[in-house]
Structure 1
Amino acid sequence: MRILEVSAFYTPYIIGGAEICAQNLTEWFTGQGHEVAVLSAAPQREHESWGTPLNGYRLYRVGTPHIYPVFQASTAPGWKKPVWHLQDIYDPRNEAMFERVIADFRPDFVHIHWIQGLGYNGLKVLARHDIPTAITLHDLAYVCVRTTMFRGDHECVRQCRGCRLSMQAKIGYLADIPRLGFISPSRANLDKVASLMPIAQYPSFHILNPITYPTPTTPHLPSDKVRLLFVGRLENTKGIGFALELLEPLAERYDFHLTVLGKGPEEDALRRRFGQHPWVDIVGHVPLQQVADTMAGSDLLLVPSLWMENSPGVVFQALGVGLPVLASDKGGLPELIDPGRNGYIAPAGDVDRWREQLVSLLERPEQLQALREQASSSTAEFDYAHLAQKMLDAFAIIRDHRRPAKGL
């Protein structure tokens, strides 16, 4: 089968699990004998490539007509953002680019991870050519222009007008694709999208992201100090500021250290506010191997997300090496955590409940070793080859499921 993987972000330009998933699946499909190509965005003109052979597959890294590249979305001035989103939905040059890629590679199947930044109206090209298409819902991009339904420091209780209008345009494009299906790493994310967008009539699948992570090169060694870890993008939605403010007064009573791995728009502010404390180390972005080794040397992963997380890869990377997780109750996180077996769940943003749970673990750190031993039994749930094969099985169902257009 000739499979086109679509992901605006693609290695080495990675910001999260969706891009790692796209890369891992591309390499696995290639290893299984499929012809595979990747369509992604180029940060600058000098990064562009056209069907370039790479590790057995082909890479189309293209420039786009947007007022700024998708890589600058978090730093672009506010006045440019509405223009960017209009271009992303309607600019005919997006369609022309998709047409060229389709004509050159001639895929039998298209798998979309992240089309925002390449152009949603590229979906019209897939419809015109009747190419069966699977969309993995890594976030809420089809119902929210910010992709999170989170604004400022709180979740959106309903769609704003701009998001509704954007969604209606996307619905129109999707409705023309005769063979279409949706995949979500969490049931919570799938249900949320389905509550706002009529996708229930299409084949839908709950499949964890097939992601492989490096094996730690260092063993887990006991320590008198409780070693806490945060891995993720440094922004409000991830709750890192909430966690640091919560831990600050506890540092006077308990012996712990927090390592923060990741980068993001809040990094400089967090360094100014908390960087002088000896109990925290804000490291920044590090390679995946260093993440794995840091996990091996940690006792508890904190995932204090304030928005509706989907199924963060950092959680099953942690559980895969036996690292227990304390996570918020948002989105798909409760689907991954079995309280008392591989970690604990606390209400998102609830200072009292999070403090209570952390104090319990800091006062009785022997609980963490018991959780570690039980967390190791979770690894079978995240078997990479099994999940990748489930993806292929879903593709086959979508390919054979034809319905009249304009029915979404």
Structure 2
Amino acid sequence: MRILLANKFYYRRGGDCVYVLNLEQLLKKHGHEVAVFAMDYPENMDTEWKRYFPKNMGKVMAFTRPFGSREVKDKFNRLLDDFRPDVVHLNNIHTQLSPVLAELAHGRGIRVVWTLHDYKLLCPRYDCLLNGRTVCETCFNGDKKACLDNKCMKGSRLASFIGYREAVVWNRQRLENATDILICPSRFMADKMAQGGFDARKMKVLCNFIDTGKCAKGDYGKGDYYCYIGRLSREKGIGTLIDAANCLPYKVKIIGNGPLANELKAVAHNHIEFLGHKEWDEIKTLVGQARFSVVPSEWYENNPLSVIESQCLGTPVLGARIGGIPELTDMTFSSGNVADLKAWIEKMWDAPFDYRKMAEEAQRKYNAETYYDNIIKVYSK
């Protein structure tokens, strides 16, 4: 089978990019021909397909790219002509590439599959947050004017107007007409899409996967700390975690960077260690030796890889009761509630776990071969 994967970036920038890169390797392993389409970005991995990539988006392009620019259409059509895919698998494509890709492929009779990594099809700013703080579903009813009224896009009236127009142009009916299957990595996302009017018959719930081989280890011993791994930003709930951790004597290691880094370091007590960005070899050791990890999100997390990776390393996960997190772990606390988080950390600190068994079960559940068996059925229908 010939499969074309499309994503706005082609390097390990975030969960969507990691998913695409892992999927590319998985499909090639099974003998499929795979092409990729992305924006020509300086940090992209090298690929034979980069000659088809549209230029890196500049400020002026923000007025054309979201709606399907000529360059994107011309280069994508060239790729379709030359590669002749059986399936076009879209991922994170809004703004820099745009859903015009779905229409171009669908118009040629090519099967279009779209994995949803965020809520862009429901919310112009992707994350269903009002002012970056409060969960908001105002735009789910199809009227996106709240994006203008609240200046949801970066607090800018102009950016919000572009986001609003993008949502109007690429409305639910138009997107559904050009897409065969919408893959939702969590049941929560599928329910929200249905709430927003999308046809449930076009949705397939399919949990993400990881390269479980990279999680293999012989020792499941634990250290004297718990950990957080992720972006240091408000919607991730890291502020709530620091408030709870400050009230407790247990050591916690914070892995990652973000806009709140300096603010959090200024208020954190000495037993809270900020490690910054780490590569996988170090993450494997840090997360693998933690007694548990905490995912304290305060937005509609979809299917966070941080939970899956922790469990595959034999590390239990304490997650906020929001979005798709409760589908991945039974140990949850009320999102944004410092007292509840504090109580759960105390409970988990000395709780007995069979770490090896946890890792083995998670690796069976989230391994690539299981995912392949499911995705190939989606491609083939």
| TM-score computed with the length of structure 1 as normaliser | 0.80
Q: Kindly indicate whether residue 53 of structure 2 is the aligned counterpart of residue 62 of structure 1.
A: yes
Aligned twin of 1:110: 88
Structure 1 residues 198 and 215: CA distance shift in structure 2, 3 A: closer
Q: Secondary structure at the match of 2:200?
A: coil
Residue number in structure 2 paired with 1:89: 67
Q: Distance in 2 between matches of 1:351 and 1:305?
A: 12
Contact 1:43 1:63 in 2 (8 A): no
**Is the CA contact (8 Å cut-off) linking 2:77 and 2:104 kept in structure 1?**
yes
Q: 2:52 and 2:19 mapped to 1: Cα distance? A: 17
Contact 1:18 1:113 in 2 (8 A): yes
1 CA distance for matches of 2:8 and 2:280? 20
Higher mean alpha-carbon deviation, 129-138 vs 152-161, is at 152-161
Q: 1:261 aligns with which of 248, 255, 263?
A: 255
| Distance (Å, rounded) in 1 between the aligned partners of 2:246 and 2:31 | 53
Map of 1:2-401 to 2, 5 A cutoff?
Answer: 2-11=2-11, 14-44=12-42, 52-53=47-48, 58=49, 62-64=53-55, 66-68=57-59, 84=62, 87-116=65-94, 117-151=96-130, 152-159=132-139, 160-161=144-145, 162=147, 166-170=166-170, 171-177=172-178, 180-202=180-202, 204-213=203-212, 214-215=214-215, 219-223=219-223, 225=224, 227-250=225-248, 254=249, 256-274=250-268, 277-338=269-330, 344-362=331-349, 365=350, 367=351, 369-370=352-353, 372=355, 375-376=358-359, 377-397=361-381
CA–CA separation in structure 1 for the residues paired with 2:41 and 2:222: 44
Would the aligned equivalents of 1:296 and 1:323 in 2 still touch at CA under 8 Å? yes
Structure whose residues are more often strand by fraction: 1
For 2:106, give the aligned amino acid: A
| Structure 1 position 285, deviation (Å) | 1.8
2:128–2:135 CA contact under 8 A, matched in 1: yes
Mean Cα deviation higher: 91-100 or 227-236: 91-100
Q: Counterpart of 2:193 in 1: which secondary structure?
A: helix
CA contact (8 A) 1:216 1:292 kept: no
Q: Using the alignment, how far apart are the partners of 2:111 and 2:182 within structure 1? A: 11
TM-score, normalised via structure 2 length = 0.85
- Output one character per residue of 1:135-185: Cα deviation in whole Å (capped at 9) or x when no partner: 0111112122321111322111412524665334223542442x6111111
Aligned partner letter, 1:266: L
Task: Name stretches of at least 5 consecutive residues in structure 1 with no aligned partner.
Answer: 69-79, 339-343, 398-408
Equivalent pair of 1:216/1:293 in contact (CA under 8 Å): no
1:206-254 CA-to-partner distances (Å, cap 9, x unmatched) read 111122152356733344x3x111111221111111111221122xxx2
Query: Does the C-alpha gap of structure 1 residues 201 and 141 become closer, same or farther in structure 2, counting only changes over 3 Å?
Result: same
Q: Deviations over 1:358-389 (max 9, x none)?
A: 23334xx1x1x326355333432212201122
What residue is the counterpart of 1:77 in the other structure? none
- When residues 188 and 164 of structure 1 are mapped into structure 2, their CA distance, relative to the original with a 3 A threshold, is farther
1:20, 1:28 → 2: CA distance?
12
- Distance, in Å, in 2 between the alignment partners of 1:156 and 1:85 is 26
1:238-287 deviations in Å (ceiling 9; x for gaps): 1111111221122xxx2x2211122233334333443xx43122222211
- Tell me the equivalent position of 2:156: none
> In structure 1, what is the Cα distance between the partners aligned to 2:190 and 2:4?
23
* RCO comparison, higher one (Cα < 8 Å, 6+): 1
Query: Quick one: which amino acid aligns to residue 103 of structure 1?
Result: D
Tell whether the 8 Å contact from 1:66 to 1:88 is kept in structure 2 after alignment. no
Alpha-carbon distance in 1 for matches of 2:194, 2:336: 26
* Matched residues, number: 356
Matched-pair contact (CA < 8 Å) for 2:320–2:335: yes
Of 264-273 and 20-29, the range deviating more from structure 2: 264-273
Q: What secondary structure is seen at the aligned counterpart in 1 of 2:326? A: helix
Local SS of the residue matching 1:33: coil
Q: Following the alignment from structure 1 to structure 2, what is the Cα–Cα distance between the partners of residues 392 and 16? A: 24
Q: 1:324·1:371 contact (CA, 8 Å) conserved in 2? A: no
CA contact (8 A) 2:41 2:56 kept: no
